[in-house]
């Protein structure tokens, strides 16, 4: 893997990574800041796409078109959905999909897929990284990640997502990154640490754990870079 693109939605999700990259140059394209450099002798580009799927898709396409990345890792935080997923656990994407687009539309319109598969090799590296960091205080999971244009903080919506998609967690960017990576034939994986349970107390939990969870996800990505 020659050049690795790393995307976080918010500044706090890439702060630890930026602190560890030897930045050679930075560029601003279409309002997105791209930091080019190296980590552990790996050619890396780190960027913050902002919240939401449109921002994430736009930023991902720029990474591919303008910077020629060979693989993409999305890092950040998410709301836990599956009953086995706890606060500060890590979810590695097996696949990603949009929860706010009908399945029939996904299957019948380009690119004719209900979900987008994460790269098996990147998943293996993520698992190895999690194993190297693992402790009694948190666990890691491999499963579906769903994305939509809203912060989920309603127990009824959570139940519906579990019923319809059987996901491990929910956020706002991963499926768009996976979608764009797929149509460009670029390997990707989404790494998310859980900040809340996507329920009626989500906002309180999010405020308490967002930085802890963001840093945990970034630590996993840093370990992955040592292995790639």
Within 13 Å and on the Cβ side, how many CA atoms surround 184? 21
Query: Is position 120 annotated as part of the catalytic site?
Result: no
pLDDT attached to residue 1: 57
pLDDT tens per residue across span 158-193: 999 999 999 999 999 999 999 999 999 999 999 999
Query: Is position 156 annotated as part of the catalytic site?
Result: no
Which residues is 7 bridged to in the sheet?
A: 47, 74
Q: Residue 50 corresponds to which tokens in the numbers above?
A: 């902002």
Q: Which of 171, 196, 199, 219 is catalytic?
A: 196
Domain 3-227 has CATH 3.40.50.1580: yes
- Which residues make Cβ contacts (< 8 Å) with residue 143, sequence separation at least 6? 82, 91, 92, 93, 94, 167, 168, 169
- Strand pairing of 140-147 and 116-117? unpaired
What's the mean per-residue pLDDT of the chain? 94
**Which stretches does DSSP call E strand in the chain?**
3-8, 22-29, 32-39, 42-48, 71-80, 90-98, 116-117, 140-147, 169-171, 188-196
pLDDT tens per residue across span 66-122: 999 999 999 999 999 999 999 999 999 999 999 999 999 999 999 999 999 999 999
Burial of 198: CB neighbours in 10 Å, binned 0-12, 13-18, 19+: buried
pLDDT tens per residue across span 37-80: 998 889 999 999 999 999 999 999 999 999 999 999 999 999 99
68: alpha, beta or left? (left if phi > 0; alpha if psi -120 to 50): left
């Amino acid at each position: 893997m020659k050049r690795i693109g790393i995307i976080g939605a918010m500044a706090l999700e890439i702060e630890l990574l930026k602190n560890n990259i030897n930045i050679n140059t930075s560029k601003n394209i279409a309002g997105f800041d791209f930091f080019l450099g190296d980590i552990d002798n790996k050619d890396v580009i780190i960027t913050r796409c902002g919240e939401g799927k449109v921002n994430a898709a736009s930023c991902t396409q720029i990474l591919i078109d303008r910077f020629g990345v060979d693989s993409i890792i999305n890092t950040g935080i998410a709301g836990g959905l599956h009953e086995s997923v706890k606060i500060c656990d890590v979810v590695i994407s097996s696949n990603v999909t949009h929860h706010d687009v009908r399945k029939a539309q996904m299957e019948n319109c380009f690119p004719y897929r209900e979900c987008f598969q994460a790269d098996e090799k990147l998943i293996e590296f993520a698992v190895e990284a999690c194993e190297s960091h693992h402790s009694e205080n948190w666990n890691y999971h491999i499963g579906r990640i769903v994305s939509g244009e809203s912060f989920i903080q309603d127990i009824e919506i959570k139940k519906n997502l579990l019923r319809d998609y059987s996901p491990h967690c929910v956020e706002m960017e991963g499926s768009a990154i996976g979608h764009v990576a797929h149509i460009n034939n670029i390997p990707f994986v989404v790494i998310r640490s859980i900040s809340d349970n996507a329920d009626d107390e989500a906002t309180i939990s999010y405020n308490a754990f967002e930085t802890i969870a963001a840093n945990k996800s970034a630590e996993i990505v840093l370990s992955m870079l040592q292995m790639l």
